[in-house]
Amino acid sequence: MRTPVIAGNWKMHNTVDESLKLVRELKPLVAGVGGVEIVVAPVFTALDAVSAEINDSNIALSSQNVFWEEKGAYTGEIAPGMLKDVGCTYAIIGHSERRQYFNETDETVNKRVKAALKAGLTPIMCVGETLEEREGGKTIEVVSRQVKGGLAGLGSAEIDKMIIAYEPVWAIGTGKTATPEQAEEVHADIRRLVGQIAGAGTAAGIRILYGGSVKPDNVDVLMSQSDIDGALVGGAALQADSFARIVKFETK
Ligand code: 13P
């Protein structure tokens, strides 16, 4: 049984006060909801305050990125241990916006994943194709390259601790969700690939989240797919009521 994960990636939104307001609204709406890991990923500056606010709740904390060194002369970067220090238990790694705007590559994703695992953070490693790649029939090729690159050098005991998020770039922030069938097809391929890399047990256990315009009105059908184990939510995570509804998805 794979415990589903619903994670809200707040991206570059919300001051400390706004973050606290959102999480204070969210807490009572999801209190008592079990059988699902609920995660929020605020901006770095709000992590500490949000961490204190969710301390005794069923909501966990994630960063939106992490650097691979433990400390040193790396101006502007944040180490895995520093994220643990403020209460993070997850780290989003390799989001397509980082690949697109900040030169993130499969190699740097791999370094971040390894460093996060070493520090005891659960990596949420993001993969996904662009519209051009999908239209060129390259979806599986691109996603396979990203998965293999991101997992390079890791053993099954480490991959067991990870989460993969499939986020087709063309579905992010566009209102265009992949159809459940389109998403399921890629999720099943990712699971097969994880099986080739790390064995059947790891493939059966790893959580693969879908991201890209997940909303209250499409989460149920997405979550009803056999290889979709959760959602990485952007825009709809910025409103407590819509995120809470996504957390309370119903499968058919
Ligand atoms: P949207 O839900 O706004 O499409 O964003 C998805 C995403 O990128 C989550 O990481």
> What is the CATH classification number for the domain harbouring 95?
3.20.20.70
Question: Any idea what DSSP says for residue 104?
Answer: -
Total domains present in the chain: 1
Residue at 177 is within a domain: yes
- CB contact burial 237-247 (16+ within 10 A = b; e otherwise): bbebebbbbbb
Residue 133 domain flag: yes
The predicted structure's pLDDT at residue 219: 98
Nearest residue by C-alpha to atom 5 in ligand 1: 234
Structure token digits, residue 231:
């959602």
Task: Give 5's strand partners.
Answer: 37, 230
Asked whether residue 9 is domain-assigned, the answer is yes
- Determine, yes or no, domain membership for 21: yes
Q: Which of the residues in the chain have pLDDT under 50? A: none
Ligand 1 atom showing the smallest separation from residue 235 Cα? 3
In a domain, 252, yes or no: no
pLDDT tens across 193-226, in order? 999 999 999 999 999 999 999 999 999 999 999 9
Find, among 3, 41, 40, 59, the residue nearest to 208 by Cα: 3
What are 9's two structure tokens? 């990636």
Task: Round to whole Å and give the CA distance between 160 and 8.
Answer: 22
Atom of ligand 1 minimally distant from the CA of 232: 9
pLDDT at 230: 98
Query: If you count them, how many residues does the chain have?
Result: 252
Active site residue 167: yes
Instruction: Using most ligand atoms within 8 A of CB, pick from 167, 215, 238 the residue to mutate for ligand 1.
Output: 167
Does a structural domain hold residue 178? yes
Residues touching ligand 1 (Cβ under 6 Å) are 9, 95, 167, 172-173, 211-214, 232-236
**Do the beta carbons of residue 214 and residue 222 sit within 8 Å?**
yes
216-228 CB burial, b ≥16 within 10 A, e <16: bebbbbbbebebb
> Where do we find the tokens 């961490």?
51
Cα angle, residue 70 at apex, residues 103 and 40 outer, rounded to 5°? 65
Residue 174 tokens read as 């566009």
Beta bridge mates, 210 = 166, 231
- The pTM for the full model equals 0.98
Residue-number span of the structural domain to which 122 is assigned = 5-247
What is the structure's pLDDT at 176? 86
Q: Is residue 131 in some structural domain? A: yes
pLDDT score of 175: 86
